[in-house]
Amino acid sequence: MQTHSIAVIPGDGVGLEVMPEGRRVLDLIAGRHQAEFHCTEFDWSTEHYFRHGKMMPTDGVEQLRRFDAILLGAVGRPGVPDNVTLNGLLLPIRRAFDQYACVRPAKLYNGVTSPLAGKAGGSIDMVIVRENTEGEYAQAGGFVHRELPSEVAVQTSIFTRRGTERIIRFAFDLARRRGRKRLTSITKSNAQGYSMVLWDDTFAAVAKDYPGIETESLLVDAATLHFVRRPEDFDVVVASNLFGDILSDLSAAITGSLGLAPSANLDPSRKSPSMFEPVHGSAPDIQGKGIVNPLAMILSVAMMLDFLGLEEAGAAVEQAVAGVLEDGETLTPDLGGSAATADVTGAVIAKLTA
């Protein structure tokens, strides 16, 4: 029997609503796949920020270090600047645990309608691999003459050969492991003549080690166009921190809903815990209404199970989600239905126990 310790951070907004649904599925898996999950919940959130002046305790990272994985619901709320929430919790965790590979799958499931005309279920099935610890989100820079008319802000992107090579190599390995035929690199080297030239050079060098994988390099602006024009042509996409962040939201939109978008922040070396979270954020506009889609959280649980070596359980959870979507009977409003959050989870559990 596998035993795993899981740090649970529900966070804010709908994170407090989807996390219990993810744990319902995790509890069921434990009983059916010879696994034990010892979950410890942390109340780190904007409420913690209002009480203590910080999103998590000073030793928060050290508290998390002993766990096998982290489940995060969402963070953020009106009245707290997003840079406070991002730099107070998410980015410190990603950096401290060297979670350099952010993996965001985007699949058009049967039963889900894409906003793009004529796209059938299964026709869009891509994975965005986002560099997660440096690049445009490195937080290198500062202010001069703060809050004066002459104020200057300097924001510097940090691209290293090591950081660029390892995320590109991770993406090639993922493409090979998943039986994918193409890897697309996202660049902007026509305008960013240093960081993205390094990215392009590294991509070309690493590609020589993977002769069986077809490669494509697209400027990020062209990529947004082609995500809409020919999304079925994309298999695995590798991008910098900023570009991957933007494109993964677009990929979620064209596959039906941000409520179906899971993600994994991985330390592939497994020296530190990896973190799994839905992409959708805290969604304060629907908080407390009981209508948030729990499937992104449940699919994030599936990704965690797969990473922890419970591949069969992870596949079973995704198949159950796919079955609920194909049936089309128990869907939340973002997918055109009227079901409550808990009812959708109940439908997933019914599939898992059928």
pLDDT in tens, 22-36: 999 999 999 898 899
Band of residue 341 on the pLDDT scale cut at 50, 70, 90: very high
At 221, which helix (H) or strand (E)?
A: helix 220-229
For position 79, what pLDDT does the model report? 87
Q: Looking only at Cα atoms, what is the longest distance across the chain?
A: 66
pLDDT in tens, 175-194: 999 888 899 999 999 999 99
Supply 48's token pair. 């913690």
For position 181, what pLDDT does the model report? 87
| 231 contacts 127 by C-beta, under 8 angstroms | no
Bridge partners for 276 per DSSP: 71, 264
Please compute the mean of the pLDDT values over residues 255-270 and round it to a whole number. 96
For residue 328, pLDDT over 90 is answered with yes
For position 22, what pLDDT does the model report? 98
pTM comes to: 0.95
pLDDT in tens, 205-260: 999 999 999 999 999 999 999 999 999 999 999 999 999 999 999 999 999 999 99
Supply 157's token pair. 């992107």
List b or e across 24-46, with b for residues whose CB sees 16 or more CB atoms inside 10 angstroms: bbbebbbeeeebebeeeebebbb
Percent of the chain with pLDDT over 90: 94
CA dihedral angle for residue 286, residue 39, residue 300, residue 12, rounded to 10 degrees: 20
Closest CA to 273 of 113, 66, 25, 120: 66
Alpha carbon of 315 to those of 21, 89, 289, 319: distances in Å?
Answer: 18, 30, 30, 6
Neighbours of 264 (CB within 10 A): 22
For position 52, what pLDDT does the model report? 94
- Could you tell me the domains of the chain? 1-100+260-354 (3.40.718.10), 125-254 (3.40.718.10)
For position 82, what pLDDT does the model report? 87
Give 89's contacts (C-beta < 8 A, 6+ positions apart): 9, 11, 44, 55, 56, 60, 75
Q: How far is Cα 277 from Cα 94, in angstroms, rounded to an integer?
A: 12
Beta strands in the chain (DSSP E): 2-11, 35-41, 69-74, 101-107, 125-131, 135-144, 152-158, 182-187, 214-219, 236-239, 262-266, 274-278
For residue 312, pLDDT over 90 is answered with yes
Give alpha helix (H) positions in 33-184: 46-52, 60-64, 82-85, 91-96, 161-177
For position 136, what pLDDT does the model report? 94
For position 145, what pLDDT does the model report? 96
For position 1, what pLDDT does the model report? 82
Give 116's contacts (C-beta < 8 A, 6+ positions apart): 228, 231, 254
For position 348, what pLDDT does the model report? 98
Band of residue 139 on the pLDDT scale cut at 50, 70, 90: confident
Please compute the mean of the pLDDT values over residues 123-128 and round it to a whole number. 97
The rounded mean pLDDT for the chain is: 96
Please compute the mean of the pLDDT values over residues 317-332 and round it to a whole number. 97
**Catalytic site positions:** 137, 188, 221, 245, 249
Q: How far is Cα 114 from Cα 192, in angstroms, rounded to an integer?
A: 33
